[in-house]
Amino acid sequence: MRKIYFLFPRMNINSGGHLAQIKLFELTTTICTARPVTYEVQEDGILFLDHLLEAEDTNDDIFIVHWGPHITDLIQRLAGKNIVYASYSTGYDFAIPPGVPIIASSKHTQAYWGRYSPSSPIFYLPCEISEEFKNLHLPRDIDVFVQKRKSSRYLLEELVPALRPYCSVTVLDSWVDDLTEVFNRSKVYLYDSTEHWIQHGTSEGFGLPPLEALACGCTVFSSINDALSDHLDPGFNCHQLRIYSKEYDLARILKAVREWKDDYQENDPVEEYRGSSILKRLRLILIQINEFLDQKQQYRNDIEDIGVLPSKAEIRLIKERIQKMENSRGWRLLERLRGIHARVLQALK
């Protein structure tokens, strides 16, 4: 197999997509030669993209890119190279050339690229749930656990205050490298990311926290937007959050707290997302990507581009920017000054 370079802006980023890419890199090293490469910050012991491109012949190697805001620039910068895009989210309003394979972290993401880059080779490779996320059967002193990051205003400002008089609620307001202990101390985990992703104009690319909580024995209440619907099944392995009425949510959550039991599960609830399962898929995907890169030079790209992404995406992006500008404090102040100016001119007349 070809040597693979995994491109990162820098190595230390508190982001789910970045950490998922680190795990993908680590799995890949068990299959073929793989190296991390940074392109914004030069770090000790890590290859730097500018130096790599100058020093080595990389025409037959593979460059895997993943950082959404930089994808367009990286594809242009690596023109003529073998590029693979690992997609952990959608909605960044760029197209992927048909010669660039896409590794999608969810069925939702796979479907997105199946619509907007239908001529690219597209593969599904879910994110890995690490082995440390498991039920340790510890005493559960936290009734309800919430992470502030990505949580909706409804969850933080309405539901959490409503829960506090009736049970113990822990809201985590910082990044934690290892959530295993916190999940294992919690009975119920609440997750509602819909508002966050709508505000950013992108999507939930996979949704690791609810799955990690399930693996640790928590009862999960979650939104089911975007890729969360890949693996969350309300009524079977979780409960849907934000249904109809705050009081309805409150009653269901408190019932789950009261009835929580430390069940010993015979089957791992996230078995298909463990490293061994992901590794099998990854091996087959890399084989197919290498075969595609071997053969694509024999053929001419002659399938007509559907061309639906740029026009619709640009219109939506412009509308969002105008709306954001009109809702800004500076814009409202400017409108007030214009009104004062108009009244002054009228008085002078």
CATH number at residue 250: 3.40.50.2000
Same domain, 37 and 62: yes
> 3-class secondary structure for the chain?
CCCEEEEECCCCCCCHHHHHHHHHHHHHCCCCCEEEEECCCCCCCCEEHHHHHHHCCCCCCEEEECCHHHHHHHHHHCCCCEEEEEECCCCCCCCCCCCCCEEECCHHHHHHHHHHCCCCCEEECCCCCCCCCCCCCCCCCEEEEEECCCCCHHHHHHHHHHHCCCCCEEEECCCCCCCHHHHHCEEEEEECCHHHHHHHCCCCCCCHHHHHHHHCCCEEEECCCCCHHHHCCECCCEEECCCCCHHHHHHHHHHHHHHCCCCCCCCCCCHHHCHHHHHHHHHHHHHHHHHHHHHHHHCCCCCCCCCCHHHHHHHHHHHHHHHHHHCCHHHHHHHHHHHHHHHHHHHHC
Give a yes or no: residue 34 inside a domain.
Answer: yes
Q: Are both 162 and 255 inside the same structural domain?
A: yes
Taken as a whole, the chain contains a residue count of 349
For position 250, what pLDDT does the model report?
97
How many structural domains does the chain have? 3
Residue 343 resides in a domain: no
Give me the chain's average pLDDT, please.
89
Is the pLDDT at 318 greater than 70? The verdict is no
Same domain, 53 and 96: yes
Instruction: Determine the average pLDDT of the residues in 248-256.
Output: 97
Quote the pLDDT of residue 313.
56
**Is 31 domain-assigned?**
yes
- The verdict on residue 136 lying in a domain is no
* Of 275 and 328, more confident: 275
Same domain, 252 and 280: no
Residue 148 lies in a domain: yes
Is residue 303 domain-resident? no
Quote the domain boundaries for residue 314.
Answer: 309-338
User: Distance between CA atoms of 63 and 296, rounded to whole angstroms?
Assistant: 16
Nearest to 252 by CA among 269, 264, 234, 265: 234
Same domain, 249 and 285: no
Instruction: Tell me, yes or no, whether 249 and 175 share the same domain.
Output: yes
Q: Has residue 348 been placed in a domain?
A: no
Lowest model confidence (mean pLDDT) among 23-37, 86-100, 158-172: 86-100
Give residue 310's pLDDT band: very low, low, confident or very high (50, 70, 90): very low
Per-residue pLDDT reduced to its tens digit, 137-176: 999 999 999 999 889 999 999 999 999 999 999 999 877 7
Q: Report the 10 Å Cβ neighbour count for 76.
A: 8
| Residue 267 covered by a domain | no
Decide: pTM greater than 0.85. Answer: no
Mean pLDDT for 317-335 is 69
pLDDT at residue 243 is higher than 90: yes
Q: Are residues 15 and 121 in the same domain?
A: yes
Bigger pLDDT: 343 vs 120: 120
Q: Percent of the chain at pLDDT above 70?
A: 93
Whether the per-residue pLDDT at 299 is higher than 80: the answer is: yes
